[in-house]
Amino acid sequence: MERVAAGAREPADGTDRIFELEEEVDQLRAAVASHAVVDQAIGMVVALGRVTPDQGWAVLKDVSQHTNIKLRNVAELILIWGRSGEMPAGISAELEDALDRHGPTQIPEGPPE
């Protein structure tokens, strides 16, 4: 009888494991999507603010902390701003302040002629 009892538990355990793995896959997909949004926003800050990628990350982090808005949401607002030209005034002002604190870096001069 022990074999039957043990065998009866296996499908339940296997089903539980499948659900756990599906949840983990969903979390990983969300993390990858979030990472892509943040990376794109850093790229915009780097290009428009003339800062390094590390400074771009620091700018996003500062804006998030000073506005009490999750970093991913700040990144999304910056991407929307890139598409529409519109950004909430509070975010815009904090972005400018953060860029003042972290940059801009100097653009290297061209090669000597």
- For the stretch 92-112, pLDDT in tens is 999 999 999 887 655 545 455
Question: Is it the case that residue 1 has pLDDT exceeding 50?
Answer: no
For residue 24, is it within any domain? yes
For residue 50, is it within any domain? yes
**Rounded Cα distance, 1 and 50, in Å:** 72
Kindly write down the DSSP assignment for every residue of 14-79, as one continuous string. HHHHHHHHHHHHHHHHHHHHHHHHHHHHHHHHHHHHT--HHHHHHHHHHHHHHHT--HHHHHHHHH
Condensed to tens digits (0 to 9), the pLDDT of residues 17-73 reads: 888 888 888 788 877 777 889 999 999 999 989 899 999 999 999 999 999 999 999
Q: Interior CA angle at 20 toward 19 and 24, to 5°?
A: 115
For residue 44, is it within any domain? yes
Work out the burial of residue 44: count CB atoms within 10 Å of its CB; fewer than 13 is exposed, 13-18 middle, 19 or more buried.
Answer: middle
pLDDT category, 12, cuts 50, 70, 90? low
Region of residue 69 (left: phi > 0; alpha: psi -120 to 50; beta: else): beta
pLDDT of residue 111: 52
For residue 83, is it within any domain? yes
For residue 113, is it within any domain? no
Q: How many domains does the chain have?
A: 1
pLDDT of residue 24: 84
For residue 93, is it within any domain? yes
For residue 112, is it within any domain? no
The predicted model gives 68-96 an average pLDDT of 92
Range of the domain at 18: 2-102
For residue 110, is it within any domain? no
